[in-house]
Amino acid sequence: MKIPEYKPRDWKSHPPYVFKAYGSSVKRGPLRKLVPVRQTSSEITGPLFGDIKLEAGENDLTRNADTGKEAMGERIIVFGRVLDENERPVPHSLIEIWQANAAGRYRHAVDQHNAPLDPNFIGAGRCATNDKGEYRFLTIKPGAYPWLNHPNAWRPAHIHLSLFGPSFVTRLVTQFFFPGDPLIPLDPILNSIPSPSGRRRLIASYSHDVTEPEFALAYRFDIVLRGRKSTPFEKTRR
């Protein structure tokens, strides 16, 4: 079988497994050298979720608690494109997101931060990219929240995302941040990314064009997944 391989993980873009300033990584990041694997059908295939049934409203976190009431907080539109390294759109691909509420609290038993839960906000949603690789969520701007990593530690407001792409090796879990947040330079999780440009790529940009008058501000977050090593089809013309 001919194997159209994917480009390797770019370790200048991704964090190392262990980054001391992020305390939890010290005992949980693998320490041995990774064993290289030549890509086979096991690696270049992967779950496509072609038959997944997304219900209407799964990408509207302001209302998907199904209480009939809207979540509290600042409504925002989160949108963008999923592309690969060769600038090709990644169409019909599942995106899952999760986040804290406007007060900076997750609806999770482990989160004991003394901030109110919102009965009308779950903090999770899903959608699939369209044929151009575009996605869109409506949600609430998450709050910052404290954590125990170091004294007076606060996570900047962020939204977690999970993506699959077309193969097993294109899997990505990441999170994005909001422009102008003063906590961003202090965050050891973001700072684990070795290059300044890599860190910048996790900060969404404000989009006045997509902002809806008298409704919601819009933030654009584009995502780049691993692409094929060679392009077996015609080159894209731009």
Partner 1 sequence: MKQTPSQTVGPFYAIGLTCKPMNVLATDSTQGQRIRIEGRVFDGDGQPILDAMVEIWQANAYGRYNHPDDKQEKPFDRSFTGWGRSGTDEKCFYSFETIKPGPVPGPGDTVQAPHLNVVVFARGMLVHAFTRIYFSEERANESDPVLNSIKNKDRRSTLIAAREERQGNTIYRFDIRLQGKDETVFFDM
**Which residues are known to be catalytic?**
106, 145, 155, 158, 160
**Contact with partner 1 (CB under 8 A): which of 84, 184, 203, 216?**
84
Residues 6 or more apart whose Cβ sits within 8 Å of residue 34: none
Q: Is 31 exposed, middle or buried (0-12, 13-18, 19+ CB in 10 A)?
A: exposed
Q: According to CB under 8 A, which one of 24, 205, 231, 236 is a site residue for partner 1?
A: 24
Q: Is 193 in the site for partner 1 (CB under 8 A)?
A: yes
Q: Which lies closer to partner 1 via its Cβ, residue 97 or residue 216?
A: 97
Do the beta carbons of residue 44 and residue 169 sit within 8 Å?
Answer: yes
- Closer of 76 and 156 to partner 1 (Cβ): 156
- Rule CB under 8 A: is residue 53 a binding residue for partner 1? no
Cα distance between residue 178 and residue 184, in whole Å? 9
Cβ–Cβ < 8 Å for 159, 95? no
Residue 81 in contact with partner 1, rule: CB under 8 A: no
Of 208-227, binders to partner 1 (CB under 8 A) are 223-227
Residue type for 67, please?
T
Q: Interaction with partner 1 in 87-146: which residues (CB under 8 A)? A: 87, 96-98, 100, 106-108, 110-111, 122-125
Quick check: 167 binds partner 1 (CB under 8 A)? Answer: yes
Q: Is 20 in the site for partner 1 (CB under 8 A)?
A: no
Residue 16 touches partner 1, criterion: CB under 8 A: yes
Give the separation between CA 48 and CA 9, rounded to whole angstroms: 20
Among 20, 28, 69, 132, binds partner 1 (CB under 8 A): 28
Q: Is 43 helix (H, G, I), strand (E, B) or coil?
A: helix
Please, which residue, 45 or 205, has the CB nearer to partner 1? 45
Q: Does 191 bind partner 1 (CB under 8 A)?
A: no
Q: Contact between 238 and partner 1 (CB under 8 A)? A: no
Q: Smallest distance from the beta carbon of 88 to partner 1, in angstroms?
A: 10
83 binds partner 1 (CB under 8 A): yes
Q: Provide the β-strand partners of residue 186.
A: none
Q: Based on CB atoms, which residue is closest to partner 1, 154 or 211?
A: 154
Q: DSSP string of 166-231? A: TSGGG-EEEEEE-TT-TTGGG-HHHHTSSSHHHHHTTB-EE-TTTPBTTTBEEEE--EEE--BSS-
